């Protein structure tokens, strides 16, 4: 299982209300919010992204720790689409005919293969490699930097082609055999 952790420093009551709105009990939310920084662990990548997006603004200081760009099995475990998202995947595909889950796998494969230069932040290339995320407005996969708020809407075609050539086509051939 991958590590998905966000540490938030900021106004106690804002953190408390966020926790209460996201299923924490009164006492647990008070304890977590009083800790500065408040350390929040997540089971899914989507919850992790939502928390980072929520607090990535002044006066909050956000430190995120997501290790799955190094752990291929962890990524699959970190992103578990809902049944509704699975239905959307049948409708929303990119031009390379990959579903959102396949697109995420393609990005992770690119970022972890070691054979290609990783995709980096457009604001600062010394930030951690970009990670896949879902744009909740369009239900499309984007690339996000969790060191800052940079989002790249377009997945380079070479990433999708590389995945198709190396993985997807081999999987399809095995299914046909």
Express each pLDDT in 12-37 by its tens digit.
Answer: 888 888 889 888 899 998 998 888 88
The confidence band for 58, taking pLDDT boundaries of 50, 70 and 90, is: confident
The per-residue pLDDT for 163 is 84
Same-domain status, 93 and 165:
yes
Same-domain status, 108 and 32:
no
Residue 74 lies in a domain: no
Closest-CA residue to 75 (of 67, 65, 85):
67
Q: Is the peptide bond before 122 cis (omega within 30 degrees of 0)?
A: no
Predicted confidence (pLDDT) per residue in 81-112, tens digit: 566 655 555 554 444 456 778 888 888 888 88
User: How far apart (Å, rounded) are the C-alpha atoms in residues 148 and 62?
Assistant: 9
The per-residue pLDDT for 168 is 60
Same-domain status, 89 and 167:
yes
Same-domain status, 40 and 91:
no
Same-domain status, 162 and 92:
yes
Same-domain status, 137 and 166:
yes
Domain boundaries, position 134? 83-176
Q: Which residue has the higher pLDDT, 41 or 66?
A: 41
């Amino acid at each position: 299982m991958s590590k998905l952790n966000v540490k938030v420093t900021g106004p106690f009551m804002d953190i408390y209300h966020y926790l209460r709105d996201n299923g924490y009990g009164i006492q647990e939310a008070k304890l977590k919010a009083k800790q500065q920084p408040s350390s929040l662990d997540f089971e899914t990548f989507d919850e992790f992204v939502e928390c980072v997006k929520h607090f990535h603004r002044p006066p909050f200081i956000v430190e995120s720790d997501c290790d799955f760009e190094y752990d291929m099995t962890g990524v699959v475990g970190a992103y578990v689409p809902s049944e509704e998202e699975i239905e959307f995947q049948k409708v929303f595909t990119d031009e390379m005919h990959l579903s959102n889950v396949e697109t995420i796998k393609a990005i992770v494969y690119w970022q972890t293969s070691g054979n290609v230069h990783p995709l980096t932040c457009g604001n600062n290339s010394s930030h951690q490699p970009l990670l896949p995320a879902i744009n909740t407005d369009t239900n499309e996969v984007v690339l996000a930097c969790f060191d800052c708020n940079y989002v790249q809407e377009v997945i380079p075609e070479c990433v999708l082609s590389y995945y198709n050539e190396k993985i997807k086509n081999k999987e399809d051939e095995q299914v046909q055999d």
